[in-house]
Amino acid sequence: MLNIFNLKLNNSNFFVTKKEKIDNKSNDRGQTRHYPPANREWFNSIYAYNKNTSKLLHVADKAILILIKSYFNLYSADLEKTKKTRRTRRFRRLSVNRILISRAELKHTSDKVIITIYIYNRHLKYYLNKIKTIATLNILKKKLSKQKLQIIVNNGLKITSNVLKQKKILFETLNIGNNKFNNYGNNYVNKYLKIFIFKCLHEEMLYLNLKQIIFVNKSKFNCNYLLPLSSLIAKIYKKKIEFNIVNLKYLYLNSYIFTETLVTKIKNRKNRVLRVLKASLSMFKLPPLNKLAIFDDMYNRKKKAQNLKVNHVLSNPNFMLFNKGLRLQQQGKGLGKGKGKGKGINSISNNSDYDTLDLILSKVYSKNLLQNKLVNIDITKKKEHVTNTVLCSIKHKSVSGIRIEAAGRLTRRNTAERSAYKLRYKGNIRNEDSSFKGLSTVILRGHAKSNLQYTKLKSKKKIGSFGLKGWISSN
């Protein structure tokens, strides 16, 4: 196909004139568009020969979500010291102090299914905060001065010395005569000594108990713990299962987790709807919007993709000299280390520190360490620069705005009143590239914006049902 195109291009004058025009034309189209990953496009990326298999995916996803949630929220009543009653189960279901799980994003291949899950481990943070309070809890240091503490210590020492003297006198009197009475006295003393030790070591025992709960929580994410879960999910899809678990730092980074927590809070009759919505938005801090930086991005010539050719770079005499020098250097290193010819050739091919493609790209892109000059630099600096450029090129890193809508039977009274509508937002939901910079952006599924995470959930109370929508935008 390429040969036919080349023949046509050489024969016809029309293509040649067009080609010449394109070479001479300067490029003013702006930055290249950012394409988000495939999992943002669809929750299930699958290619199936039979159309009926894709119809059942929606039902399978719901079953998997229930399975994963119930599996990760397993607990031991002995460790947490709770009774298994209907009330405790209900309170546990309505509480937010548990492992919050997002909707699964699935990628199907011929032999396996890759499941990515976003997790916010509120259960772990709750118990870590408890340990911190135990460590920092020292009421005597806060309320009492050093002089008062010394007086208390001296009085305590006097009391203990008097008790020990009386104890000696009692044991001397009890040793006369009956051995049974002596045994009873020893048991009585041991019993109270145990109580005294338990009271003294109450903090240490509590600390150990909390450490055990934290260990159980962390072990849930190990491979050994996930094996039975993967075997259960494998029965649904009849394929191998692979997990990608992403641990989130903040609650608002995933819209599904954020809206689900709000639904559980609104279910409780004690909580007011507006207070819940305001409190949820107070967690999120708006990033500062630098208008000058946006203006520079709009009119910066360096960031615009230049219409350069690889042939222009390769034909450069400086580039050719530099490339020859690198090859000679590589040959010298390879032949010096290897005893035979074969080892020298392998070392030249395996040596990936100097790459011609990297040099070509450094010529094309102006913002680089080389700065359009073919100068030899350290490998460590080059690797650091590569990581920085990759991280800078990634978009949708910081959250720029949140919007929440709640509608339905949201009243606190147990009467069937009219449906209420509540709206709260913070920041902007608009796309920075399209609305501010004037650049073209990608649309997901033909209608959804690439910078938005949107979730729609429903629930019910005694009064009736209600719904909640959540938007989280990122730039």
If one counts the domains in the chain, the total is 4
- State the Cα–Cα distance between residues 219 and 225, nearest whole angstrom: 7
Tell whether 361 and 442 lie within a shared domain: no
Residue 471 belongs to what H/E stretch? strand 465-474
Tell whether 349 and 460 lie within a shared domain: no
Q: Provide the CATH number for the domain around residue 42.
A: 3.30.300.20
Tell whether 105 and 72 lie within a shared domain: yes
Q: What distances in angstroms separate CA 382 from CA 223, 319, 354, 360, one per listed residue?
A: 36, 18, 10, 15
Tell whether 193 and 270 lie within a shared domain: no
More confident residue, 298 or 116: 116
More confident residue, 122 or 435: 122
- Considering the chain, what is the average pLDDT of its residues? 74
Tell whether 452 and 432 lie within a shared domain: yes
Q: What is the mean pLDDT of residues 92-120?
A: 89
With respect to residue 276, please indicate whether it lies within any of the assigned structural domains: yes
Angle, in degrees to the nearest 10, between helices 273-282 and 255-267: 150
SS3 202: helix
Query: Over pLDDT 90: what percentage of the chain?
Result: 21
pLDDT at 83: 75
Tell whether 46 and 127 lie within a shared domain: yes
Tell whether 449 and 323 lie within a shared domain: no
pLDDT at 208 over 70: yes
Structure token digits, residue 472: 């989280």
Domain final residue pick, 188, 210, 232: 210
pLDDT at 165 over 50: yes
With respect to residue 471, please indicate whether it lies within any of the assigned structural domains: yes
Residue 401 belongs to what H/E stretch? strand 399-408
pLDDT at 371 over 60: no
More confident residue, 365 or 273: 273
pLDDT at 50 over 70: yes
Tell whether 244 and 364 lie within a shared domain: no
pLDDT at 2 over 60: no
Nearest to 458 by CA among 422, 415, 408: 408
Task: Provide the residue range defining the domain that includes 364.
Answer: 303-388
Tell whether 190 and 270 lie within a shared domain: no
